[in-house]
Amino acid sequence: MTRHFMEGSRVVAEAIFLCKPDVVSAYPITPQTHIVEELAQLIADGRIKSKFLEVESEFTAISSVAGAVAAGSRAFTATCSQGLALMHEVLFAIAGMRLPLVMVVANRALSAPLNIWNDQQDSISERDSGWIQLYVETAQEAVDTMIQAYKIAEDNRVLLPVMVCMDGFILTHTVEPVHVPDDVEVKKFLPKYKPTHALLDSTIPMTLGPFAYPEPYFKLRKELSLAIDNSKKIIKEVNEEFRQRFNRRYGNGLIEEYKNDKKIAIVSMGSVCGTIRCVIDSRTDTGLVKIRCYRPFPKEDLINALKDKEIVIVIEKNISLGLGSGSAFSEVRDVLYYLKKKPKVVGAVVGLGGTDVRSKDINALINKSKMMRDGEVEWFI
Amino acid sequence: METGGVIKKPGSSKEVKTGSWRTFKPIATDKCKGCGICVQFCPEGCIKILKGKVEIDYDYCKGCLICVNECPTKSMRSKREEK
Protein backbone atom coordinates (compact mmCIF):
# COMPACT_ATOMS: atom_id res chain seq x y z
CA MET A 1 0.00 0.00 0.00
CA THR A 2 1.42 3.35 -1.02
CA ARG A 3 0.72 6.86 0.19
CA HIS A 4 0.01 9.53 -2.41
CA PHE A 5 -0.74 13.22 -2.38
CA MET A 6 -3.97 13.42 -4.28
CA GLU A 7 -6.91 15.65 -4.98
CA GLY A 8 -10.20 14.24 -3.62
CA SER A 9 -11.70 13.84 -7.11
CA ARG A 10 -8.64 11.95 -8.28
CA VAL A 11 -9.02 9.66 -5.27
CA VAL A 12 -12.56 8.82 -6.39
CA ALA A 13 -11.23 7.94 -9.84
CA GLU A 14 -8.59 5.70 -8.24
CA ALA A 15 -11.36 3.99 -6.26
CA ILE A 16 -13.17 3.38 -9.53
CA PHE A 17 -9.97 1.91 -10.96
CA LEU A 18 -9.97 -0.49 -8.00
CA CYS A 19 -13.69 -1.38 -8.12
CA LYS A 20 -13.68 -1.82 -11.92
CA PRO A 21 -17.29 -1.09 -12.88
CA ASP A 22 -18.35 -2.34 -16.32
CA VAL A 23 -20.25 0.83 -17.18
CA VAL A 24 -19.60 4.44 -16.15
CA SER A 25 -21.77 7.36 -17.11
CA ALA A 26 -21.75 10.85 -15.65
CA TYR A 27 -22.52 14.38 -16.72
CA PRO A 28 -20.10 17.05 -15.46
CA ILE A 29 -21.33 19.54 -12.86
CA THR A 30 -19.29 21.67 -10.45
CA PRO A 31 -17.81 20.48 -8.05
CA GLN A 32 -18.02 16.93 -9.38
CA THR A 33 -16.40 17.84 -12.75
CA HIS A 34 -12.90 16.65 -11.85
CA ILE A 35 -14.27 13.19 -11.05
CA VAL A 36 -15.74 12.85 -14.57
CA GLU A 37 -12.55 14.26 -16.08
CA GLU A 38 -10.34 11.80 -14.23
CA LEU A 39 -12.65 8.90 -15.12
CA ALA A 40 -12.68 9.77 -18.80
CA GLN A 41 -8.88 9.97 -18.64
CA LEU A 42 -8.59 6.59 -16.91
CA ILE A 43 -10.71 4.98 -19.59
CA ALA A 44 -9.03 6.80 -22.50
CA ASP A 45 -5.63 5.71 -21.18
CA GLY A 46 -6.86 2.13 -21.17
CA ARG A 47 -6.21 1.66 -17.45
CA ILE A 48 -9.72 0.30 -16.99
CA LYS A 49 -11.92 -1.46 -19.50
CA SER A 50 -15.20 0.19 -18.40
CA LYS A 51 -17.57 1.47 -21.04
CA PHE A 52 -17.91 5.25 -20.66
CA LEU A 53 -21.25 6.57 -21.87
CA GLU A 54 -21.20 10.23 -22.85
CA VAL A 55 -24.63 11.67 -22.17
CA GLU A 56 -26.44 14.98 -22.47
CA SER A 57 -27.87 15.23 -18.95
CA GLU A 58 -27.85 13.76 -15.46
CA PHE A 59 -31.24 12.21 -16.15
CA THR A 60 -29.73 10.18 -18.98
CA ALA A 61 -26.61 9.40 -16.94
CA ILE A 62 -28.58 7.82 -14.10
CA SER A 63 -31.06 6.15 -16.47
CA SER A 64 -28.29 4.52 -18.49
CA VAL A 65 -26.42 3.21 -15.46
CA ALA A 66 -29.73 1.96 -14.05
CA GLY A 67 -30.14 -0.01 -17.29
CA ALA A 68 -26.57 -1.27 -17.02
CA VAL A 69 -27.14 -2.61 -13.50
CA ALA A 70 -30.49 -4.07 -14.50
CA ALA A 71 -28.66 -5.94 -17.25
CA GLY A 72 -26.34 -7.44 -14.63
CA SER A 73 -23.23 -5.26 -14.69
CA ARG A 74 -21.45 -3.16 -12.08
CA ALA A 75 -21.90 0.55 -12.76
CA PHE A 76 -20.96 3.97 -11.43
CA THR A 77 -22.10 7.55 -11.71
CA ALA A 78 -21.41 10.83 -9.91
CA THR A 79 -23.24 14.12 -9.61
CA CYS A 80 -24.40 16.82 -7.18
CA SER A 81 -26.91 19.56 -6.54
CA GLN A 82 -29.14 20.37 -9.55
CA GLY A 83 -27.86 17.23 -11.26
CA LEU A 84 -29.00 15.09 -8.35
CA ALA A 85 -32.33 16.90 -8.32
CA LEU A 86 -32.73 16.07 -12.01
CA MET A 87 -32.07 12.41 -11.17
CA HIS A 88 -34.75 12.42 -8.46
CA GLU A 89 -37.35 10.36 -10.32
CA VAL A 90 -34.91 7.64 -11.34
CA LEU A 91 -33.40 7.39 -7.82
CA PHE A 92 -36.68 6.02 -6.49
CA ALA A 93 -37.01 3.58 -9.40
CA ILE A 94 -33.47 2.23 -8.84
CA ALA A 95 -34.09 1.64 -5.13
CA GLY A 96 -37.50 0.11 -5.86
CA MET A 97 -36.01 -2.30 -8.41
CA ARG A 98 -33.28 -3.09 -5.86
CA LEU A 99 -30.40 -2.32 -8.22
CA PRO A 100 -26.99 -2.24 -6.48
CA LEU A 101 -25.63 0.96 -8.04
CA VAL A 102 -22.99 3.17 -6.41
CA MET A 103 -22.98 6.93 -6.92
CA VAL A 104 -20.75 9.68 -5.57
CA VAL A 105 -22.44 12.94 -4.65
CA ALA A 106 -20.06 15.91 -4.38
CA ASN A 107 -22.37 17.81 -2.03
CA ARG A 108 -23.33 21.29 -3.24
CA ALA A 109 -26.07 23.81 -2.42
CA LEU A 110 -29.33 23.85 -4.38
CA SER A 111 -30.71 26.86 -6.28
CA ALA A 112 -32.04 29.52 -5.88
CA PRO A 113 -30.01 31.65 -5.65
CA LEU A 114 -27.50 29.85 -7.82
CA ASN A 115 -24.55 28.69 -5.74
CA ILE A 116 -21.80 26.22 -6.54
CA TRP A 117 -20.34 25.76 -3.06
CA ASN A 118 -20.75 23.09 -0.46
CA ASP A 119 -23.64 22.20 1.78
CA GLN A 120 -25.51 18.91 2.08
CA GLN A 121 -28.99 20.02 1.03
CA ASP A 122 -28.87 18.06 -2.26
CA SER A 123 -28.37 14.56 -0.86
CA ILE A 124 -30.33 15.17 2.36
CA SER A 125 -33.30 16.07 0.15
CA GLU A 126 -33.08 12.55 -1.33
CA ARG A 127 -33.07 10.84 2.05
CA ASP A 128 -36.45 9.12 1.49
CA SER A 129 -35.52 7.65 -1.90
CA GLY A 130 -34.45 4.25 -0.55
CA TRP A 131 -30.73 4.78 -1.17
CA ILE A 132 -28.18 4.02 1.51
CA GLN A 133 -26.37 7.29 2.26
CA LEU A 134 -22.81 7.30 3.59
CA TYR A 135 -21.19 10.67 4.44
CA VAL A 136 -17.41 10.82 4.40
CA GLU A 137 -15.08 13.13 6.29
CA THR A 138 -11.78 12.83 4.39
CA ALA A 139 -10.50 11.79 0.96
CA GLN A 140 -9.15 8.63 2.60
CA GLU A 141 -12.61 7.80 3.89
CA ALA A 142 -13.99 8.49 0.38
CA VAL A 143 -11.82 5.84 -1.31
CA ASP A 144 -12.39 3.32 1.48
CA THR A 145 -16.12 3.97 1.57
CA MET A 146 -16.47 3.54 -2.17
CA ILE A 147 -14.88 0.10 -2.02
CA GLN A 148 -17.14 -0.76 0.92
CA ALA A 149 -20.16 0.70 -0.89
CA TYR A 150 -20.01 -1.85 -3.73
CA LYS A 151 -19.68 -4.68 -1.23
CA ILE A 152 -22.67 -3.42 0.76
CA ALA A 153 -24.83 -2.75 -2.30
CA GLU A 154 -24.14 -6.09 -3.98
CA ASP A 155 -24.64 -8.17 -0.81
CA ASN A 156 -27.55 -10.55 -1.40
CA ARG A 157 -29.11 -9.50 1.88
CA VAL A 158 -29.07 -5.82 0.83
CA LEU A 159 -29.36 -5.24 -2.95
CA LEU A 160 -29.79 -1.51 -2.62
CA PRO A 161 -28.11 1.50 -4.24
CA VAL A 162 -25.53 3.42 -2.21
CA MET A 163 -24.80 7.15 -2.32
CA VAL A 164 -21.32 8.12 -1.15
CA CYS A 165 -21.61 11.77 -0.15
CA MET A 166 -18.43 13.88 -0.04
CA ASP A 167 -18.44 17.63 0.55
CA GLY A 168 -17.92 19.54 -2.68
CA PHE A 169 -14.64 21.53 -2.94
CA ILE A 170 -13.76 20.83 0.73
CA LEU A 171 -13.08 17.20 -0.17
CA THR A 172 -13.24 17.05 -3.97
CA HIS A 173 -10.75 19.87 -4.64
CA THR A 174 -8.38 19.50 -1.70
CA VAL A 175 -5.09 17.65 -1.97
CA GLU A 176 -4.62 15.19 0.88
CA PRO A 177 -2.24 12.35 1.67
CA VAL A 178 -4.13 9.14 0.87
CA HIS A 179 -3.31 5.47 1.20
CA VAL A 180 -4.55 3.90 -2.01
CA PRO A 181 -5.41 0.26 -1.29
CA ASP A 182 -3.63 -2.44 -3.22
CA ASP A 183 -5.37 -3.70 -6.35
CA VAL A 184 -4.92 -7.39 -5.47
CA GLU A 185 -6.22 -6.87 -1.94
CA VAL A 186 -9.28 -5.02 -3.23
CA LYS A 187 -9.96 -7.86 -5.65
CA LYS A 188 -10.02 -10.28 -2.71
CA PHE A 189 -12.22 -7.97 -0.66
CA LEU A 190 -14.57 -7.13 -3.50
CA PRO A 191 -14.99 -10.05 -5.90
CA LYS A 192 -16.60 -9.68 -9.31
CA TYR A 193 -20.32 -8.85 -9.16
CA LYS A 194 -22.53 -11.88 -9.67
CA PRO A 195 -26.02 -10.66 -10.47
CA THR A 196 -28.83 -12.81 -9.14
CA HIS A 197 -32.16 -11.04 -9.40
CA ALA A 198 -31.55 -8.68 -12.32
CA LEU A 199 -29.88 -9.97 -15.43
CA LEU A 200 -30.17 -9.61 -19.19
CA ASP A 201 -30.21 -13.20 -20.40
CA SER A 202 -32.49 -14.33 -23.22
CA THR A 203 -32.67 -17.85 -21.81
CA ILE A 204 -34.24 -16.61 -18.57
CA PRO A 205 -36.42 -13.65 -19.57
CA MET A 206 -37.62 -11.38 -16.76
CA THR A 207 -39.49 -8.14 -16.24
CA LEU A 208 -38.06 -5.33 -14.10
CA GLY A 209 -40.07 -2.42 -12.72
CA PRO A 210 -43.49 -3.77 -13.67
CA PHE A 211 -46.85 -2.21 -12.93
CA ALA A 212 -48.21 -3.17 -9.52
CA TYR A 213 -51.71 -2.98 -8.08
CA PRO A 214 -52.07 -1.28 -4.64
CA GLU A 215 -51.51 -4.37 -2.44
CA PRO A 216 -48.37 -5.72 -4.15
CA TYR A 217 -47.02 -2.14 -4.38
CA PHE A 218 -47.49 -1.64 -0.64
CA LYS A 219 -45.93 -5.04 0.09
CA LEU A 220 -42.84 -4.24 -2.02
CA ARG A 221 -42.43 -0.80 -0.39
CA LYS A 222 -42.56 -2.47 3.03
CA GLU A 223 -40.00 -5.05 1.87
CA LEU A 224 -37.78 -2.17 0.70
CA SER A 225 -38.09 -0.48 4.08
CA LEU A 226 -37.16 -3.70 5.89
CA ALA A 227 -34.23 -4.26 3.51
CA ILE A 228 -32.73 -0.82 4.17
CA ASP A 229 -33.23 -1.26 7.94
CA ASN A 230 -31.57 -4.65 7.74
CA SER A 231 -28.61 -3.22 5.80
CA LYS A 232 -27.28 -1.65 9.05
CA LYS A 233 -25.97 -5.06 10.07
CA ILE A 234 -24.19 -5.55 6.74
CA ILE A 235 -22.69 -2.04 6.76
CA LYS A 236 -21.16 -2.85 10.17
CA GLU A 237 -19.89 -6.24 8.95
CA VAL A 238 -18.30 -4.74 5.83
CA ASN A 239 -16.63 -1.99 7.91
CA GLU A 240 -15.14 -4.66 10.18
CA GLU A 241 -14.04 -6.88 7.29
CA PHE A 242 -12.41 -3.82 5.72
CA ARG A 243 -10.49 -3.15 8.96
CA GLN A 244 -9.20 -6.72 9.05
CA ARG A 245 -7.86 -6.46 5.52
CA PHE A 246 -6.77 -2.82 5.24
CA ASN A 247 -6.31 -1.85 8.89
CA ARG A 248 -8.61 1.18 8.69
CA ARG A 249 -12.14 1.55 9.95
CA TYR A 250 -14.73 4.23 10.49
CA GLY A 251 -16.33 3.79 13.89
CA ASN A 252 -18.72 0.88 13.76
CA GLY A 253 -19.61 1.67 10.15
CA LEU A 254 -22.75 3.60 11.04
CA ILE A 255 -21.47 6.13 13.58
CA GLU A 256 -18.01 7.11 14.74
CA GLU A 257 -17.40 8.32 18.28
CA TYR A 258 -14.52 10.63 19.19
CA LYS A 259 -13.74 11.37 22.86
CA ASN A 260 -17.39 10.67 23.51
CA ASP A 261 -17.14 10.29 27.29
CA LYS A 262 -18.05 13.89 28.09
CA LYS A 263 -21.28 15.57 29.17
CA ILE A 264 -21.78 17.37 25.88
CA ALA A 265 -21.89 15.57 22.55
CA ILE A 266 -21.84 17.11 19.10
CA VAL A 267 -23.60 15.14 16.38
CA SER A 268 -22.57 15.97 12.82
CA MET A 269 -21.86 14.60 9.34
CA GLY A 270 -19.20 15.01 6.66
CA SER A 271 -16.04 17.10 6.48
CA VAL A 272 -17.09 19.57 9.20
CA CYS A 273 -16.35 16.78 11.69
CA GLY A 274 -12.65 17.50 11.12
CA THR A 275 -13.09 21.07 12.40
CA ILE A 276 -15.21 19.78 15.29
CA ARG A 277 -12.46 17.31 16.28
CA CYS A 278 -9.99 20.23 16.50
CA VAL A 279 -12.38 22.18 18.73
CA ILE A 280 -12.95 19.14 20.94
CA ASP A 281 -9.19 18.65 21.36
CA SER A 282 -8.95 22.15 22.82
CA ARG A 283 -11.75 21.54 25.36
CA THR A 284 -12.47 19.10 28.14
CA ASP A 285 -16.28 19.02 28.14
CA THR A 286 -17.28 17.91 24.63
CA GLY A 287 -17.20 14.77 22.49
CA LEU A 288 -18.20 13.98 18.89
CA VAL A 289 -20.61 11.46 17.44
CA LYS A 290 -20.24 11.44 13.66
CA ILE A 291 -23.15 10.06 11.67
CA ARG A 292 -21.45 8.20 8.83
CA CYS A 293 -24.55 6.38 7.67
CA TYR A 294 -27.50 8.78 7.50
CA ARG A 295 -29.81 6.32 5.73
CA PRO A 296 -30.54 3.81 7.23
CA PHE A 297 -30.64 6.05 10.31
CA PRO A 298 -28.59 4.42 13.10
CA LYS A 299 -31.22 4.74 15.85
CA GLU A 300 -29.93 2.14 18.30
CA ASP A 301 -26.31 3.24 17.95
CA LEU A 302 -27.22 6.87 18.54
CA ILE A 303 -29.27 5.99 21.63
CA ASN A 304 -26.28 4.13 23.05
CA ALA A 305 -23.85 6.90 22.19
CA LEU A 306 -26.01 9.74 23.53
CA LYS A 307 -27.93 8.22 26.44
CA ASP A 308 -25.90 9.72 29.32
CA LYS A 309 -25.41 13.18 27.86
CA GLU A 310 -26.60 16.45 29.34
CA ILE A 311 -26.50 18.38 26.09
CA VAL A 312 -26.57 17.11 22.50
CA ILE A 313 -25.69 19.63 19.77
CA VAL A 314 -26.62 18.69 16.20
CA ILE A 315 -24.53 20.61 13.67
CA GLU A 316 -25.59 20.18 10.04
CA LYS A 317 -25.32 21.71 6.60
CA ASN A 318 -28.95 21.50 5.54
CA ILE A 319 -32.26 23.08 6.39
CA SER A 320 -35.67 21.49 6.25
CA LEU A 321 -37.67 24.49 5.12
CA GLY A 322 -40.82 24.87 7.15
CA LEU A 323 -39.37 22.90 10.04
CA GLY A 324 -36.90 25.64 10.97
CA SER A 325 -34.04 23.22 11.60
CA GLY A 326 -31.89 20.67 9.83
CA SER A 327 -33.25 17.19 9.12
CA ALA A 328 -30.82 15.31 11.36
CA PHE A 329 -31.73 17.58 14.29
CA SER A 330 -35.36 16.46 14.34
CA GLU A 331 -34.35 12.84 13.77
CA VAL A 332 -31.82 12.83 16.62
CA ARG A 333 -34.45 14.38 18.88
CA ASP A 334 -36.90 11.68 17.82
CA VAL A 335 -34.42 8.96 18.70
CA LEU A 336 -33.74 10.45 22.16
CA TYR A 337 -37.45 10.74 22.90
CA TYR A 338 -37.40 7.05 23.86
CA LEU A 339 -34.97 7.68 26.74
CA LYS A 340 -36.31 8.11 30.28
CA LYS A 341 -33.77 10.83 31.06
CA LYS A 342 -33.72 12.95 27.93
CA PRO A 343 -30.72 15.18 27.19
CA LYS A 344 -31.24 18.76 26.05
CA VAL A 345 -30.98 18.81 22.25
CA VAL A 346 -30.03 21.98 20.42
CA GLY A 347 -29.36 22.39 16.72
CA ALA A 348 -27.16 24.49 14.49
CA VAL A 349 -27.62 25.18 10.80
CA VAL A 350 -24.16 25.90 9.43
CA GLY A 351 -22.20 26.38 6.24
CA LEU A 352 -25.09 26.78 3.78
CA GLY A 353 -23.87 27.68 0.30
CA GLY A 354 -20.27 27.11 1.28
CA THR A 355 -20.10 29.56 4.21
CA ASP A 356 -16.98 28.90 6.29
CA VAL A 357 -17.55 26.97 9.48
CA ARG A 358 -14.87 28.27 11.82
CA SER A 359 -13.62 26.60 14.97
CA LYS A 360 -14.29 29.75 17.00
CA ASP A 361 -17.99 29.60 15.97
CA ILE A 362 -18.22 25.99 17.12
CA ASN A 363 -16.45 26.91 20.36
CA ALA A 364 -18.93 29.73 20.94
CA LEU A 365 -21.85 27.41 20.14
CA ILE A 366 -20.71 24.88 22.74
CA ASN A 367 -20.46 27.66 25.35
CA LYS A 368 -23.85 29.06 24.35
CA SER A 369 -25.53 25.64 24.34
CA LYS A 370 -25.48 25.64 28.14
CA MET A 371 -27.86 28.61 28.11
CA MET A 372 -29.98 27.54 25.13
CA ARG A 373 -33.50 26.17 25.49
CA ASP A 374 -34.18 22.54 24.60
CA GLY A 375 -35.01 22.41 20.89
CA GLU A 376 -33.50 25.81 20.08
CA VAL A 377 -31.74 26.16 16.73
CA GLU A 378 -28.76 28.43 16.12
CA TRP A 379 -27.67 29.74 12.70
CA PHE A 380 -24.02 30.38 11.87
CA ILE A 381 -24.50 33.52 9.80
CA MET B 1 -42.78 -12.03 -4.54
CA GLU B 2 -39.29 -11.69 -6.00
CA THR B 3 -36.87 -9.02 -4.68
CA GLY B 4 -37.65 -5.64 -6.22
CA GLY B 5 -40.86 -6.96 -7.82
CA VAL B 6 -38.92 -8.71 -10.59
CA ILE B 7 -41.13 -11.05 -12.60
CA LYS B 8 -39.21 -14.15 -13.63
CA LYS B 9 -42.03 -16.10 -15.26
CA PRO B 10 -42.87 -14.74 -18.70
CA GLY B 11 -46.47 -14.29 -19.81
CA SER B 12 -47.94 -13.01 -16.56
CA SER B 13 -49.71 -10.18 -18.39
CA LYS B 14 -52.04 -12.78 -19.88
CA GLU B 15 -53.57 -13.22 -16.43
CA VAL B 16 -54.98 -9.70 -16.57
CA LYS B 17 -58.12 -9.88 -18.72
CA THR B 18 -58.17 -6.35 -20.07
CA GLY B 19 -61.47 -7.02 -21.86
CA SER B 20 -63.25 -5.84 -18.72
CA TRP B 21 -62.08 -2.27 -19.47
CA ARG B 22 -64.36 -2.14 -22.53
CA THR B 23 -67.19 0.39 -22.93
CA PHE B 24 -68.01 -0.44 -26.58
CA LYS B 25 -67.83 -3.90 -28.07
CA PRO B 26 -66.95 -4.44 -31.76
CA ILE B 27 -69.08 -7.08 -33.46
CA ALA B 28 -68.39 -8.62 -36.87
CA THR B 29 -71.41 -9.09 -39.14
CA ASP B 30 -72.02 -11.52 -42.03
CA LYS B 31 -70.88 -8.86 -44.52
CA CYS B 32 -67.24 -9.62 -43.54
CA LYS B 33 -65.13 -10.74 -46.51
CA GLY B 34 -62.18 -11.77 -44.36
CA CYS B 35 -59.78 -9.24 -45.92
CA GLY B 36 -57.78 -9.02 -42.66
CA ILE B 37 -57.24 -5.24 -42.59
CA CYS B 38 -58.64 -5.12 -39.04
CA VAL B 39 -56.03 -7.73 -38.01
CA GLN B 40 -53.27 -5.34 -39.08
CA PHE B 41 -54.83 -2.37 -37.30
CA CYS B 42 -55.81 -4.02 -33.97
CA PRO B 43 -53.33 -2.56 -31.41
CA GLU B 44 -53.96 -5.44 -28.99
CA GLY B 45 -53.55 -8.31 -31.46
CA CYS B 46 -57.05 -9.52 -30.59
CA ILE B 47 -58.39 -10.27 -34.09
CA LYS B 48 -57.83 -13.43 -36.09
CA ILE B 49 -59.26 -14.59 -39.43
CA LEU B 50 -60.67 -18.08 -39.10
CA LYS B 51 -62.21 -19.78 -42.14
CA GLY B 52 -62.43 -16.43 -43.94
CA LYS B 53 -64.30 -14.73 -41.08
CA VAL B 54 -63.23 -12.39 -38.30
CA GLU B 55 -62.89 -13.72 -34.77
CA ILE B 56 -62.36 -11.31 -31.86
CA ASP B 57 -60.75 -12.28 -28.55
CA TYR B 58 -63.06 -10.49 -26.10
CA ASP B 59 -60.83 -11.45 -23.12
CA TYR B 60 -58.32 -8.77 -24.16
CA CYS B 61 -60.19 -6.49 -26.62
CA LYS B 62 -60.39 -3.06 -24.90
CA GLY B 63 -63.04 -1.77 -27.29
CA CYS B 64 -61.03 0.96 -29.03
CA LEU B 65 -63.13 0.37 -32.18
CA ILE B 66 -60.24 1.02 -34.57
CA CYS B 67 -61.42 -2.12 -36.40
CA VAL B 68 -64.88 -0.62 -36.85
CA ASN B 69 -63.36 2.57 -38.22
CA GLU B 70 -60.98 0.83 -40.61
CA CYS B 71 -63.25 -1.90 -42.03
CA PRO B 72 -63.52 -1.17 -45.83
CA THR B 73 -66.80 -3.06 -46.19
CA LYS B 74 -68.41 -1.50 -43.07
CA SER B 75 -69.09 -4.99 -41.80
CA MET B 76 -68.10 -4.23 -38.18
CA ARG B 77 -70.58 -2.59 -35.84
CA SER B 78 -70.30 -1.58 -32.21
CA LYS B 79 -72.54 -2.07 -29.24
CA ARG B 80 -72.44 -0.47 -25.81
CA GLU B 81 -71.43 -2.95 -23.12
CA GLU B 82 -74.10 -3.67 -20.55
CA LYS B 83 -72.93 -4.81 -17.15
SS3 category, A110:
coil
Q: How many angstroms separate the CA atoms of A350 and A166, rounded?
A: 16
B72 touches chain A (CB under 8 A): no
Task: Give backbone dihedrals phi and psi of A35, rounded to 5 degrees, phi first.
Answer: -65, -50
Q: Structural domains in chain A?
A: 2-246 (3.40.50.970), 256-379 (3.40.50.920)
Question: Helix axis angle, A8-19 relative to A33-44, nearest 10°?
Answer: 40
Confidence check: pLDDT of A1 > 70: no
Question: Is it true that the peptide bond before A181 is cis, omega within 30 degrees of 0?
Answer: no
Q: How many angstroms separate the CA atoms of A160 and A152, rounded?
A: 8
| Sequence ranges of the domains in chain B | 29-78
Q: Which residues contact B15 (CB under 8 A, 6 or more apart)?
A: none
User: Which residues, in sequence order, are bridge partners of residue A167?
Assistant: A107
Task: Give backbone dihedrals phi and psi of A336, rounded to 5 degrees, phi first.
Answer: -80, -10
ipTM of this predicted structure: 0.80
Confidence check: pLDDT of B35 > 80: yes
* Residues written for chain B: 83
SS3 category, A348:
strand
What is the reported pLDDT for A199?
A: 85
pLDDT digits (tens, 9 = 90+) for A102-142: 999 999 999 999 999 999 999 999 999 999 999 999 999 99
A219 touches chain B (CB under 8 A): yes
CB contact under 8 A, B5 and A204: no
CB A170 within 8 A of CB A163: no
pTM score over 0.95:
no
Q: How many angstroms separate the CA atoms of A284 and A222, rounded?
A: 45
Q: Which of B1, B10, B12 sits opposite A219 (nearest CB)?
A: B1
Closest C-alpha among B83, B26, B34 to residue B60: B26
CA distance B76 to chain A (A): 33
Q: Which fold has domain B29-78?
A: Alpha-Beta Plaits (3.30.70)
What is the reported pLDDT for B10?
A: 84
Q: Which of B1, B10, B12 sits opposite A220 (nearest CB)?
A: B1
Confidence check: pLDDT of B62 > 80: yes
Task: Give backbone dihedrals phi and psi of A149, rounded to 5 degrees, phi first.
Answer: -60, -45
